[in-house]
Amino acid sequence: MYVSSIALIWLRIWISMAQIQQGGPDEKEKTTALKDLLSRIDLDELMKKDEPPLEFPDTLEGFEYAFNEKGQLRHVKTGEPFIFNYREDLHRWNQKRYEALGEIITKYVYELLEEECHLKKVSIPVDAIESEPRSFIFMSEDAMINPDKLMILIHGSGVVRAGQWARRLIINEDLNSGTQIPYIKRAIEEGYGVIVLNPNENYIEVEKTKAQVQLSSDTSDEPAEKRERKDKIQKDTKKRRDFYEKYRNPQKEKETMQLYIRMIQREAEVRNKVTAVALTDSVHNVWHQEAGKTIREWMRENCCNWVSSSEPLDTSVESMLPDCPRVSAGTERHELTSWKSFPSIFRFLGEALEAKQSSGKGVPTRRSQRIRYEEL
């Protein structure tokens, strides 16, 4: 079995400490010397020497993987699914390999959105100046001019980007369950304009200059006592953050900062224009997000949340929060809720549009009315 040199070093140190602690007062000098030795060990350098370089292919072909006709990721030679534990007892290296593949998957899905779904990539903010950080979204040709209906797809939090529901599903299951492509194709077939948002791509990361690094730690205008307390807190916080970052990416040498992309809120405009919202195992909380009374009422009338549950699809599920009706997605796996609830969501949206068109104005959806009646 593979045993890292770091583990062997710590084992020897632990044994030495145990032997010293069993001794009497005469062993104090040895304890002090050993502590001094520990303080001088550069664990970062040890990790780098013990671990293979974090250098991975930047294409699917380089990884020797490809998607087959069923949209499943398979090894081109063996036909086997992706293997996470490629190198035994090197969890961090395996994780970074998985993340590198994930970045390739993200670009691959972007290509599918343009080539297979015929969406166009649009830079935002649309009025950004040349030096301003930017992101992008994807839109159908008729997204801004469709007179009847528009579907906006928003993924969840985490590493996923535009067009994805769950990276894990794309890699381990298939493209249908893990991406928004089935939603996009069906929406276009039913006459929707489509916008695919990219909310996790909301900042860019740039390397800090020497002046910025110095400025971030310069608090010379504050009283000495206050500055010392703040410096201690900042150093402790930075030490914990740096340790975590070193664990995740031990070969990263440069200090970076995040530049956030400009955003805007239009609550009233959204409420007036949006007919229905389908959520899939959403982790929102109306109390933590300080949603006002009008938002809570609007959600009860216009939203439905398909949650992970062992109950059959569309079975009403109780909720402690006064936000919107919750129904079963027909699966207990969080990442599968968007795929399993696919037909129900389109039926829900269709009912909402039909109700709006028949009345000439926005009204509660039929599903919302039925669930609220049953709860009463």
In a domain, 240, yes or no: no
Question: Given a cut of 50, is residue 373 above it in pLDDT?
Answer: no
* DSSP annotation string for 272-339: HH---EEEES----TTTTT--HHHHHHHHHHEEEEE--SSPTT-EE--SSSS--EEE-S-S-GGGHHH
- Residue 263 exposed, middle or buried by CB count within 10 Å (0-12, 13-18, 19+): exposed
pTM (global) more than 0.75? no
3-state secondary structure of 158: coil
Q: Determine the average pLDDT of the residues in 203-207.
A: 78
Q: Determine the average pLDDT of the residues in 163-189.
A: 97
In a domain, 190, yes or no: yes
Residue 177 domain boundaries? 54-201
Kindly state the DSSP code that residue 26 receives in the 8-state scheme.
Answer: G
pLDDT at 6: 53
Higher model confidence: residue 205 or residue 139? 139
pLDDT at 254: 65
Closest CA to 349 of 357, 340, 337, 339: 357
pLDDT at 66: 97
90 and 195 inside one domain: yes
pLDDT at 294: 81
In a domain, 14, yes or no: no
Mean pLDDT of the chain: 80
Q: Determine the average pLDDT of the residues in 79-100.
A: 90
Closest CA to 109 of 40, 162, 64, 148: 162
183 and 280 inside one domain: no
175 and 313 inside one domain: no
Question: Given a cut of 50, is residue 370 above it in pLDDT?
Answer: no
Question: Given a cut of 90, is residue 44 above it in pLDDT?
Answer: no
Question: Among 23-27, 72-76, 291-295, 332-336, which stretch is predicted with the lowest mean pLDDT?
Answer: 23-27
CA distance 14 to 368: 62
3-state secondary structure of 3: coil
Choose one of 169, 201, 233: the last residue of a domain.
Answer: 201
Choose one of 158, 176, 201: the last residue of a domain.
Answer: 201
